[in-house]
Amino acid sequence: MDERKIDFIVCVSESICCEECMRYISDLIIPDGYRIDVLTVFEAEGMTKGYNEAMQESDAKYKVYLREDTFLLNRNFIADILDIFQKNDRIGMLGVAGTDVLLDNGDFLKWNIGSIMAYDGRCIKDHFELRQTSATYEKVEALEGTLIATQYDVSWREELTGWSFYSVSQSVEMKKQGYEVVVPYQENAWCYRDNAIINAEDYEKDHSQMQKLYPEYFPTRRMGGEVEKYRENGRMAEQMRELLTRYVEIHLYHDLGKLLERQRYNWLPDMQV
């Protein structure tokens, strides 16, 4: 294992997004004596399978699992994560957002710790600053999957075949091995994510797999009303995207601006990162 190497691992489905992601990686400041590489997995059958494939090919001690639509804004990102990992060998992985509570119904639509810049279909740009730790980092129960950095290899559970819950599962697996999972303090958000709207049906399938895999953690099934509420949120987001696209096509920019401003404050809290 090369202790002076950091590998960035990206599952790729959209080449344009990936190219932009690579540009931000190439702009990072690399500490003296270290080197980086980027491993891309094309058309992976699922996030966990793609990440396992790249993890097994990598000889780097430090790995950064990055969604292709995520762009690193913190040019000192590498030095920052090395500082955290090297000062505490019990930390297994870190991310930019997470939660300090594992809900027994396995619902992970809300995160309460961290900071992230994201476009999520609601408006031009948003800064989701959740509760920030006052220390260098804060221990969490699970990480959000935009960015995950590790200093130890733990296999990803390929029973999860979709594109949701992989970060929650990996958080559980890391903690089972005795490692800590943390979210660092970010004076400014470390990354920006060009967020897609989650497909509600896919989310429900992935949610079911998660509960079957970890019944001891998530014994309670979600109520039908909660499921339908989430699906309705997804439908609303799709309708908003179609309306915004139409306004742009017919050049109604003034109306577009007013709609975005109004919707920014009226959006359902459940739709937050």
pLDDT in tens, the chain (273 residues): 999 999 999 999 877 889 999 999 999 999 999 999 999 999 899 999 999 999 999 999 999 999 999 999 999 999 999 999 999 999 999 999 999 988 776 666 578 888 878 765 554 445 555 667 678 999 999 999 999 999 999 999 999 988 889 999 999 999 999 999 999 999 899 999 876 555 556 777 888 888 899 988 887 765 455 555 655 666 666 666 676 677 667 766 666 666 666 655 444 443 344
**Element containing residue 26 per DSSP (H, E):** helix 15-26
Sign of CA dihedral 244, 250, 255, 261: positive
Residue found under tokens 């303090």 = 185
Provide the residue ranges of all domains of the chain, joining segments of one domain with +.
Answer: 2-213, 224-271
Number of helices and strands in the chain (H, E): 7, 13
2-213 classified as CATH 3.90.550.10 = yes
Spatial contact of 156 and 51, defined as CB atoms under 8 Å apart = yes
pTM of the model: 0.79
Cβ-based neighbour number of residue 18 at 10 Å: 20
Give the C-alpha separation, 95 to 146, whole Å: 8
Measure CA of the first residue to CA of the last residue in the chain; give whole Å: 35
| CA 147 from centroid of its chain's CA atoms | 5
Best CA proximity match to 160, nearest among 208, 218, 105, 97: 208
